[in-house]
Amino acid sequence: MNKKVCMLLHEVYPDDIRVSKETKSLIKSGFEIHILCLNRKNESAEEIVNGIHVHRIPIAQTFFWRGIWDILLAISFVQPVFLRRLKALHKKENFALFHVHDLPLAKTAVLAAKKASNVKVVLDLHENYPEALKVWFQWKRNPLIRLKNSVFFGFERWLNYEKTACHEADHLIVVVEEMSDRLVALHKLPQSKITVVTNSEGQSFLDQERITNIYDRASEDFILAYTGGVGPHRGVDVAIEGLGLTKSKNIRLEITGSLSADSKEWLTNLATKHKVLDRVRINGYQPFHKFFSYMALADVNLIPHNRNGHTDHTIPHKLFQGMMVGKPVIVSDAPPLKRVVKATNSGLIFEAGNAQDFAKQVDLLYDNPEKAKAFGDNGNQATTKGIWNWEHTGKNLVALYTNLIAN
């Protein structure tokens, strides 16, 4: 049985958590994994990383050139350099599957597969890409960037492309049931063509070093931790506004993760407006190994997503990570977040966009340490003893691959 797989990733590697977890499970089950991805400066063009054969393409190594190549891809929805390299690599390796991570490179993989024989295309939709394009750029202030995004990354163009790509791929992977239901209803796809492989976390997440001084905190501080990328759809603005409505000045908000200069300026101005600048710390980008400590040593982990077509159809890794470290979570009522937190009884839910309701849930945990501990314990049990971990989720991916190759 041919168990060679080539993954297409329109980003650099190793960086992507989902890609790392999927490849680890597949390699453990006997698959040979190659990744065709972008190349940062000073990275090897070819190397083996974590058992993966990594093939890097030296384009888009600066912000300017990434923008140019993104426009070229958006015009025809084909990445010509990836297409050429994929064809050459397949001729050499004879892959059984092309696994495309997210929507941009879907057509590229489909075109390459049509020129080959007996190659199937699996489209792994990490998120609702057309809807995400609506919200990703809301805080961008550069007029040229805003013009580029409106012309080449409009919702309708990418929605039509999503429909075509979903029908042309042999199978689809999505991260939540809500996304599966959306594709079936909107694009008239058969449910049997879609497999849910959620963004759960592996239990080795708990084996990391605990950096005890990760926070500069006083004994009376009650820390709300937001970890991960910061953007308009993440609801961090609601958390800042809600912080100003909480009852205790001991409650602090720590924001840790990548964000643009525009986003940082926006959030700083918001904290100033709501008179909580002294209680908000924006830590910015941090190495991945620190995130465990930021979560484990907080009092509450937050996923305050604003509700929109994007957040209603995806779920972040940090929900399961925050549960796994044994701390309560506060999430918005975006359907995937609400469903998991209710099923595991691991925290509280507030109405998305409602700062007053957010503050109410924070105060409830601040005033009830026993309830907070119970939520944290439930989350830990659900992710270590229950089904909400990658050890369970990864089996779905391996089963799918085995079936696709056999048939």
Structure confidence by residue, pLDDT tens digits, 363-399: 999 999 999 999 999 999 999 999 999 999 999 999 9
| Mean pLDDT, residues 73-79 taken together | 95
* AA identity, residue 99: H
What is the arithmetic mean of pLDDT over 256-273? Answer: 92
Output the pLDDT for position 190: 98
Q: Which of 1-5, 12-16, 211-215 has the lowest mean pLDDT?
A: 12-16
Tens of pLDDT, residues 123-164 = 999 999 999 998 876 655 666 666 666 767 889 999 999 999
pLDDT of residue 134: 87
Instruction: Determine the pLDDT at residue 115.
Output: 83
- Whole-angstrom Cα distance, residue 232 to residue 236? 8
Task: In whole angstroms, give the CA distance from residue 272 to residue 120.
Answer: 53
User: Which residues 6+ apart lie within 8 Å of 388 measured at CB?
Assistant: 200, 320, 323, 340, 344, 382
Nearest CA-CA partner of 129 in 166, 169, 102: 102
pTM above 0.85, yes or no: yes
What residue ranges do the domains of the chain occupy? 4-200+389-406, 203-384
pLDDT of residue 252 exceeding 60? yes
User: What is the arrangement of strands in the sheet containing 97-101, beginning at the earlier edge strand?
Assistant: 46-49, 52-57, 32-38, 4-12, 97-101, 120-125, 171-174, 194-196
On the question of pLDDT at 242 being above 80, the answer is yes
Convert the pLDDT of each residue in 194-232 to its tens digit: 999 999 999 999 999 999 999 999 999 999 999 998 877
Which amino acid appears at position 13 of this protein?
A: Y
What is the end-to-end Cα distance of the chain in Å, rounded? 11
CA distance 124 to 283: 31
Residue 328: asked if its preceding bond is cis (omega within 30°), the reply is no
Mean pLDDT of the chain: 94
- What average pLDDT does this structure show over 44-63? 92
| Percentage above 70 pLDDT, the chain | 96
Rounded to 5, what percent of the chain is helix, strand, coil? 50, 20, 30
* Both structure tokens of 350: 């507030």
For residue 294, pLDDT over 90 is answered with: yes
CB 105 within 8 Å of CB 10: yes
Q: Which residue has the tokens 């305050």?
A: 304
Q: Which fold has domain 4-200+389-406?
A: Rossmann fold (3.40.50)
What architecture is domain 203-384? 3-Layer(aba) Sandwich (3.40)
Q: What is the pLDDT of residue 116?
A: 83
| Concatenated DSSP letters of 248-307 | -TTEEEEEES---HHHHHHHHHHHHHTT-GGGEEEEE---GGGHHHHHHTSSEEEE-PPP
Question: How much of the chain exceeds pLDDT 90, in percent?
Answer: 86
Whether pLDDT at 303 is above 70: yes
